[in-house]
Amino acid sequence: MGRRVKDADVAAALAGDLLGVLRPELVEFLSRLAAKGGVQPLDGVDAELRLDIELLLPSLVAVDRAEGVIGFRHPDAAGVVEAALRRLRRAAGRETRGLPNINGLIRSGALDEALVQFCREGGAFLSMVHGLNAATSLLRQFPEEIRNSDETLILAAAVNALKSGNVGRAEFIVQERFGVSGARLSTSRVPLDAHGTDFQCFRFIYAIYMEETIGQREMAHLFALLGRLPLDGHIQRGLLYNVAADVFVRQHNWETAVEAALRSRHHYERANATLLAFYADLYLALIDLARGRVSEGARQLERAAARLSSSGDGSPNDRRLLSAFELIAAYEGGDPQPLIAFAFLDDPEARFGEIWPAVAEPIIAYGSLALATHSTLAAARSFLDRWRLQGWRSDRFLRIVNAQEIAVLQMHRRWQEADELLARAAADRASLPAPDIAAARRMLHGQTEDIDLALAASRSALDADPGDAAAAAALSDIAAAPQATARQQAQALLWMAVAMLETGEDEGRRDALVKFFELQESRGLPALIEENRAVIERAIGNRSARARLGHSSRLARFLRVMSAGAKPSGRVGSGLTGQEERVLFLLAEDAPNKTISRRLGVSVPTVRFHLKNLYRKLGTADRGSAIVEAVKRGLISR
């Protein structure tokens, strides 16, 4: 008797080992067959599975086509298989909580238990908890029939597609299950509260990837959904707060964004979702950097790095994303070279397949700024062109890239090209044919939802007419706006000083310059001085204008610091007047005399007069040679 029991145990152990290497569909079939006493009708087994049974299990299972049945060859086989399956399930239960447990349950045929455990580990959002590769591999372990019928697994496949950057695939998966455009918040005919909470959460995640507008109606539903989720639904709660944080970051509603990101991180930590908590840390670092709190942002990044190291689930994309933010913090702290090297080598398609636009924006902005300031305009534009290829993801990627291209063009005084982009941006906002630049400036001055474009429009207006009162008023609003970033406030202060030089408001000009320097010093933003050196010099003016600033020990100290860090300038000793410099920069854009006349607000004969003086001072005779000589002297970049 003892011998027979021992043999049965050995048989069950051997059968368990063999079952563990079979694909899940075969294990599930053997489990059903054992439960039915070892025999079942043949028409209940599909042809592909039947072929696998005959090829892989000929000694265990017999197919009787004459009788139309399929069953075990030996009467004890059902008991041995059931014992083997129990052994597999016990082994799976002894494994650590997590994905290996789910794999073991699938291999043993315990698919209902596997689905329950799958939901505990993140369900539809498992890839956001354990990483894309692990989630994709696990999803493939489930039988195809279940993958195509279970709502949680269908949504998991859609989330995996989103994280891989394949939003079209995600949309197709959802349409197949839930109807045409079922995932879209704004255009779908599917009510916001349709289907289960997983689907409702997915729609908000999808809206972020697709850059849909999440307005008051959608936000009201988001917070109502939070109220309906179970108290222990930490993954869903964390994701919804993450969506809220993204919306508030877009609005530059910084305090509320911080609160949402902290709540998101709290729920991720409660769920032991270390990788998601890493993303929350990144959002908090992003907010700190936008507000000019570089040291606080660096601490958030240290926390994020520790989480990513401990999680074991991070992808190469996650590590590259962290690296990009660490380089941005170093750049703000005065070390530009690592970020420049990164920007030269950066390939957004290869590196950032799953990135959200709010997270991409600082990478695009700082990368192009670093190249435009410390390398060349051409390098900055090449970097932006690589990111422009990501425009298929959403319109916001294109808007971010275009706004940054306007900024670097203006930095290099390529005003005509920048104005053309501004006019197109204004036309996009109004859904109208492209307005002229004057109309574009008027339209963009008051844009509170896109401060970068409002700044660009004001800079353009003041370069053409430093006495433009509307532009000066817009800059004053931006400098005082709580939703403006520290960099946007700094830019507004500098260009206010440029405007005040023209209007003779020397006390206001001095105050604006002091506020700029105090902002960059208190926030630890030395990069602002190098990026804006030409504008600072323009705001200070010539010797007479500088003298009119009066005595200010604070301003004098800041100017000494700035002069000590100055790089040799090709414009020193050029002898060009301000108007001649403007003519030169427009020449570099191949602008004809009529365009230069319109841009500067002077007559064509006056343009010819400036050109004649320009050629004489450069020792050249025509436009082409003047541009070549100006490049040699470092007066312009190509």
What pLDDT, on a 0 to 100 scale, did the predictor assign at position 92? Answer: 46
What pLDDT, on a 0 to 100 scale, did the predictor assign at position 492? Answer: 92
Task: Provide the residue range defining the domain that includes 604.
Answer: 578-632
Pick the more confident residue, 241 or 181. Answer: 241
Pick the more confident residue, 483 or 562. Answer: 483
Asked if residue 488 and residue 356 are part of one domain, the reply reads no
SS3 335: coil
Over residues 414-437, the pLDDT tens digits come to 888 898 888 888 777 655 555 556
Asked if residue 482 and residue 367 are part of one domain, the reply reads no
Over residues 281-298, the pLDDT tens digits come to 999 999 999 998 988 999
- Residue 370 binned pLDDT confidence (cut-offs 50, 70, 90): very high
Name the domain boundary from 521, 536, 564: 564
Mean pLDDT score, 362-369: 92
Query: What is the per-residue burial (b if ≥16 Cβ within 10 Å, else e) of 387-417?
Result: bbebeebbebbbbbbbbbbbbbbbbbbbbbb
From residue 369, give the alpha-carbon distance in Å to each of 345, 374, 491. Answer: 15, 8, 13
Pick the more confident residue, 599 or 572. Answer: 599
d(CA 230, CA 276): 19
Q: With beta carbons less than 8 A apart as the criterion, state whether 476 and 515 touch.
A: no
d(CA 177, CA 154): 8
Residue 163 lies in a domain: no
Residue 485 DSSP class: -
Asked if residue 343 and residue 433 are part of one domain, the reply reads no
Residue 633 DSSP class: T
- Residue 96 binned pLDDT confidence (cut-offs 50, 70, 90): very low
Residue 360 lies in a domain: yes
> What DSSP element (H or E) covers 70?
strand 69-72
Asked if residue 548 and residue 434 are part of one domain, the reply reads yes
Residues 6+ apart with CB under 8 A from 469: none
- Which contacts of 508-515 are long-range, i.e. CB under 8 A and separated by 24 or more positions? 509/539, 509/549, 510/549, 510/550, 510/552, 510/555, 512/479, 512/539, 513/539, 513/540, 513/549, 513/555, 513/558, 514/552, 514/554, 514/555, 514/558, 515/479
Asked if residue 25 and residue 66 are part of one domain, the reply reads yes
What pLDDT, on a 0 to 100 scale, did the predictor assign at position 361? Answer: 87
Question: 159-173, 291-305, 443-457 — which one is most confidently predicted on average?
Answer: 291-305
d(CA 367, CA 386): 12
Residue 507 lies in a domain: yes
- Residue 567 binned pLDDT confidence (cut-offs 50, 70, 90): very low
What pLDDT, on a 0 to 100 scale, did the predictor assign at position 156? Answer: 93
**Cα atoms found within 13 Å of the Cα of residue 86, Cβ hemisphere only:** 10
d(CA 233, CA 225): 11
CATH number at residue 608: 1.10.10.10
Q: Which of 86-100, 296-310, 495-509 has the lowest mean pLDDT?
A: 86-100
Asked if residue 393 and residue 322 are part of one domain, the reply reads yes
d(CA 387, CA 346): 9
Over residues 371-382, the pLDDT tens digits come to 999 888 888 998
Percent of the chain with pLDDT over 70: 82
Tokens matching residue 568: 């040799």
Over residues 225-257, the pLDDT tens digits come to 898 888 888 999 999 999 999 999 988 899 999
Q: With beta carbons less than 8 A apart as the criterion, state whether 342 and 324 touch.
A: yes
Asked if residue 442 and residue 332 are part of one domain, the reply reads no
Over residues 325-354, the pLDDT tens digits come to 999 999 998 888 899 888 877 655 544 545
Pick the more confident residue, 183 or 362. Answer: 362
Asked if residue 585 and residue 518 are part of one domain, the reply reads no
Residue 246 lies in a domain: no
Asked if residue 430 and residue 560 are part of one domain, the reply reads yes
d(CA 121, CA 314): 16
What pLDDT, on a 0 to 100 scale, did the predictor assign at position 3? Answer: 39
d(CA 187, CA 395): 16
Mean pLDDT score, 599-613: 82
Number of structural domains, the chain?
4
What pLDDT, on a 0 to 100 scale, did the predictor assign at position 154? Answer: 92
Region at 4 (left for phi over 0; alpha for psi -120 to 50; beta for the rest): alpha
Beta strands 69-72 and 61-64, pairing class: antiparallel
- Residue 565 binned pLDDT confidence (cut-offs 50, 70, 90): low
Mean pLDDT score, 439-444: 60
Instruction: Extract the runs of DSSP E, i.e. beta strands, from 254-370.
Output: none
Average pLDDT of every residue of the chain: 80
What pLDDT, on a 0 to 100 scale, did the predictor assign at position 321? Answer: 87
Please give the radius of gyration of the chain, using alpha carbons only, rounded to the nearest integer: 32
Tokens matching residue 621: 């005779």
Residue 124 lies in a domain: no
Asked if residue 428 and residue 320 are part of one domain, the reply reads no
| Placement of tokens 């129990």 in the chain | 86
Mean pLDDT score, 19-24: 60
From residue 548, give the alpha-carbon distance in Å to each of 368, 500, 508, 539, 540. Answer: 36, 12, 11, 12, 10
Over residues 149-166, the pLDDT tens digits come to 898 999 999 988 888 777
Residue 387 lies in a domain: yes
Residue 128 lies in a domain: no
SS3 186: coil
Name the domain boundary from 412, 432, 453: 412
Asked if residue 500 and residue 434 are part of one domain, the reply reads yes
d(CA 450, CA 407): 13
Residue 78 lies in a domain: yes
Q: Which residue from 396, 79, 55, 137 is spatially nearest to 250, judged by alpha carbons?
A: 396
Name the domain boundary from 507, 542, 564: 564
Q: With beta carbons less than 8 A apart as the criterion, state whether 477 and 515 touch.
A: no
Residues 6+ apart with CB under 8 A from 520: 490, 526, 528, 529
What pLDDT, on a 0 to 100 scale, did the predictor assign at position 351? Answer: 47
Is residue 97's pLDDT more than 60?
no
d(CA 61, CA 59): 6
What pLDDT, on a 0 to 100 scale, did the predictor assign at position 489? Answer: 92
Asked if residue 443 and residue 353 are part of one domain, the reply reads no
User: How many C-beta neighbours within 10 Å does residue 605 have?
Assistant: 9
Q: With beta carbons less than 8 A apart as the criterion, state whether 404 and 384 touch.
A: yes
SS3 184: coil
Query: What is the per-residue burial (b if ≥16 Cβ within 10 Å, else e) of 448-469?
Result: eebbbbbbbbbbbbbbbebebe
